[in-house]
Structure 1
Amino acid sequence: MGKKKSKPAPLPQSLALPYTGVESHAHLDLPPFSSDIEEVLKRAKESGVRYICNVFLGHEAWKNNRHLFEQHDEVFFILGTHPSHVDQCTDAELGAMRAAFAEDSRLRGIGEIGLDYYWDHFPRENQKDIFIKQLHLAKELNTRVIIHSRDAAEDTIDVLETEGFVDYPVLWHCFGGDAELAERIVKNGWYLSIPGTVTYPKNEEAREALKVIPLDRMLIETDCPYLTPVPYRGKRNEPAYTVFTAECVAKELGIDTEELWTTCGNNAIRFFGL
C-alpha cells in the first residue's frame, strides 16, 4: 500500500470569522512579502481581519515603505528602534521619528522597543539607554509603547516601572512567558499580545498563562513572517493566520472562537485608538 496522504491544512477563510479581528503586529514591508503583498492583504480581509498593525523598524523603513499601504486604510503603523539595532538610534534618528509622528496620523505607537538578551547583539546597558530614550519620546508624544522583550523580562519590567510606565498604555508584544510573568504584566496595567507559538504542542506553559490574562487585556498577533501557527507552522506567516491562534486560545479558555476573536479585536481598537 502507498503512503497515506495527509489532509491539506484548512484555509483561514474556512473558519468564517466575522470582520472584527485585529492583527496587532506584522512586518509586511519586509522582503518575504515583496511579491504578493496585495494577495496577503486580501486573504486577511477575507479571513475576518479588520485592521493590521505594520511595524516599521526605524525611520528609514517608514519613509521608504509606507507607500505600500497607501490604498489600504485598514493598515496602521508603529515605529521604533528594535534592541538589536540600537546603534542606529542616534539623536538624529529620534528627531526623525518625532517628525514622522507629527506628519503621519497612521502612526499609533512607538515600538517595537525594549531589550533582547537572546541575541545580545549590543551591551545591555546600551540597550537600556536606547530603550529609555524611546520611552521618553513616547511620553513626549503621548503615544503608546509596544514592547519587545526576549530573555529580558525582569530588566524590561524594571525599566518600565522606574521610568513611570505603570498604568501607561503598554503592549507586551509576542508574549510567550509563564503565568507568573503574565500576572506581573497585568498588575502593571499593561496589555499582552498572543502569537502563533501558543499553538505549538510543547508550549504548555504559554497556554497555561492564558488563564490568568483578563480577556479585556488580550490581543492577537502573528509577528509575520515569523512564528507561524499550526497548521501552517514551517511556512511563511501572514495576518490571515491570526484566526488559528484565536481558535487555539479560545479552545484553551473554553469559549467560542468568534467571541475571543471579536473581544481581542475590540481590545486592539481601544488600545491603538482606531
Structure 2
Amino acid sequence: MASKKKKAPPPSPQSLGLPTGGVETHAHLDMEPLDAEVGAVLDRAVAAGVSRVGQVFLGPAAYKDGKAKFADRDDVFFILGIHPHDAESANGVNLDAIAQAFHADPLIKALGEIGLDFFRDWSPFEAQRIAFREQLSLARELDVPVVIHSRDAAEETLRTLDDMGFADRPVLWHCFGGDANLANEIVARGWLVSIPGTVTFPKNEAMRRAVAAMPLGAMVLETDCPFLTPIPYRGKTNEPAYLAFTAAEVAHIRDIEPAEVWHATARNAAGFFGLTLPSHT
C-alpha cells in the first residue's frame, strides 16, 4: 500500500520578503492563547516586517491589567475603549478612567474599538447606542482618533457618526467586511478602511471588489488576532506576523507589488495614529 504524501507546510510570513515598516493596526495580544507568549509573537511579527503593532484594550480594567506585558516593547502602541458587547459598562467611572488613561499614557493613540454590533445580542442595542455616543463625545473632548466596530449595523453607525459631527475627523473603520458602496461611504467622509485577513477568503467577492476600487491612501491593514486568520493559516490562531498574507492578497487584487501596499498602508496608519516609522517607509 502506497504511503500518503505529507502535505507541504504553509509558507512562513517571512518567506514573502516584505521589508521592515509594516503596521498592524488592530491586535488583541492580551487574549488567549497569545497572552502566554507575547514576546515571541511580537518577535515573529518583526521578522515578517511588522514595525508597529496596535494593541487593543477592551476597557480600562483590561488596560490596567495588561499594559505591563508590553513595558519592554517600543514597537507596540495602544488603543483603548469599551466594545459594544460591554456597552453596559460604559458608566461614568469607566469613562473617567479612560479619559485619565489618555492623559497619563502617550502610548494610547486612539479610542476604540467602539460602535455597534447588531449581529449578536450580547449587549442590549439601546445600551450600545448610548455607549457609542458617550464615547464619541469623549473622543471629541480628548481630541483623539476613534476606531469603529460595526457589525450588521453599518447604516446606523454612519448615521451616528454623522450626527455627532465626525465627518473629516480621524475615524478608522475596523475589520471592514462590506462592499464597494460601504467603502465609498466611508472614504467620502475622509475616513480610513481597515482590511483584515478575511480578504484572503475566496468567497468574499464583494469585499475583494471593494478593495480593488477604493483608494490605497484610504486603507490600512489589521489581523484582529487571535481571530480571522488569513489563508494559508486559516483555522489556526491568528497573529501579527500573518499581516503579510493580507498585504500580499491586497496587492494581488490590485495588481501591484506587495511592498507598495505594505508601505502605503503603513504611512496611512502612521498618519492616523501619530506613529514614527523607519525612515524608508
TM-score by length of 1: 0.98
The size of the alignment, in residue pairs, is 274
* CA drift at 1:247: 0.2
* CA drift at 1:123: 2.5
Matched residue SS, 2:243: helix
Matched residue SS, 2:33: helix
Contact 1:83 1:115 in 2 (8 A): yes
* CA drift at 1:4: 2.8
Render the CA deviation track for 1:201-260: whole Å, top value 9, x for unaligned: 111111011122111110000000000000000000000000000000000000000111
Render the CA deviation track for 1:150-198: whole Å, top value 9, x for unaligned: 0000000000001100011000000010011000000111100000000
**Mapping of 1:185-264 within 5 angstroms?**
185-264=186-265
Amino acid at match of 1:204: E
Contact 2:81 2:113 in 1 (8 A): yes
Q: Which residue in 2 is equivalent to 1:104? A: 105
Matched residue SS, 2:131: helix
Q: Which residue in 1 is equivalent to 2:94? A: 93
Matched residue SS, 1:267: helix
* CA drift at 1:63: 0.8
Return 5+ residue gaps in structure 1 as ranges. Answer: none
Amino acid at match of 2:109: R
Aligned equivalents of 2:38 and 2:99: distance in 1? Answer: 28
Matched residue SS, 1:101: helix
* CA drift at 1:87: 1.3
Contact 2:217 2:265 in 1 (8 A): yes
Amino acid at match of 2:49: G
Aligned equivalents of 1:213 and 1:50: distance in 2? Answer: 25
Amino acid at match of 1:17: L
Q: Which residue in 2 is equivalent to 1:182? A: 183
**Mapping of 1:67-216 within 5 angstroms?**
67-216=68-217
Aligned Cα RMSD in Å? 0.8
Matched residue SS, 1:53: strand
Matched residue SS, 1:193: strand
Aligned equivalents of 1:97 and 1:187: distance in 2? Answer: 30
Deviates more, 1:209-218 or 1:106-115: 209-218
Aligned equivalents of 1:131 and 1:219: distance in 2? Answer: 23
Contact 1:182 1:213 in 2 (8 A): yes
* CA drift at 1:97: 0.5
Aligned equivalents of 1:35 and 1:58: distance in 2? Answer: 20
4+ long deviations beyond 4 Å: none
Fraction of identical pairs, as percent: 52
Matched residue SS, 1:31: coil
Aligned equivalents of 2:269 and 2:123: distance in 1? Answer: 32
Matched residue SS, 1:64: helix
* CA drift at 1:32: 1.1
Q: Which residue in 2 is equivalent to 1:270? A: 271
Matched residue SS, 2:19: coil
